[in-house]
Amino acid sequence: MCSLENKVAIVTGSSRGIGEAIARNFLTAGASVVINGRDQQRLEETASMLRGCGFEKVAAVAADVSKSSDVTRLFDMTLERFGRLDILVNNAGVVKNSLLARMDEQEWDWVLENNLKSAYLCTRRASRILMKQKSGRIINISSVVALGGNPFQSNYAASKSGLDGMMMATAKELAPYGVTVNSVAPGYIVTDMTRDLPEAAIQEILHFIPLHRAGTVDEVAHAVRFLAADESAYITGQVIQVDGGRVIR
């Protein structure tokens, strides 16, 4: 069920957290996976950990996917190593919280470049490959913040809303070629970033989640794996929420 045998995937921003969980889940399903991040040392540590778990079909490519030249190198190295590409997961992203009235242009631009421009650059390159072979999957990691907003995260909300808008447009463009494009929108997920929140803040967040608990990176990864597999072939242009019911529409 949901096998990815003989598939090749690129997962951006996958040296830790949700991205690493997606990469590990893909490897478990039989895929060859290129993990990516800016920090070469952290990336190699993650690759070594995955190989230590018995996953040999993993490659690590350090690249800043907000830069066109780095994206070209990432995709060229993937094709050189594995000979093809079937799945792209746009997971790379950053957060820089601030009240909009006090947010400077650098904070706005940095988040939009890392969260939205990076996905545009990677999707553009992947599209050219997947259109030729008339098959493939592109999956964006969005956020429920794109659906309901969040104080102090106007730049993040804008980047993720833009990501979903781009997803819907490209889903229509690529559908005639047998390529599906979807988003997964996590809610409150336990990661290194959220684990250090004050207990009072955590309890306030949980109060608004119908399931009354945080999600896990593996629960997000399972949703991504489904969208990457053959079983999801008739799903495109959709935002799949993994949020415990936090945003119900």
Query: Which residues are paired to 242 by β-bridges?
Result: 186
Q: Which residue has the tokens 């993990």?
A: 35
**CA distance linking residue 141 with residue 184, whole number of Å:** 5
188 classed as catalytic: no
Out of 120, 156, 177, 234, which one is annotated catalytic? 156
> Could you tell me the CA-to-CA distances from 144 to 52, 114, 223 in Å, in that order?
34, 18, 15
Which DSSP letter does residue 139 get? E
**CA distance linking residue 18 with residue 240, whole number of Å:** 15
Which DSSP letter does residue 117 get? I
- Backbone phi, psi, residue 42, to 5°: -60, -40
Q: How many distinct helices (H) and strands (E) make up the chain?
A: 10, 7
Cβ neighbours of 9 (radius 10 Å): 28
**CA distance linking residue 65 with residue 62, whole number of Å:** 9
Q: Residue 83, SS3?
A: coil
Alpha carbon of residue 111 to chain centroid? 15
The H-assigned helical ranges of 11-117 are 17-28, 40-52, 68-82, 105-112
Closest to 180 in 3D by CA, of 217, 231, 143, 146:
231
Catalytic center residues: 156
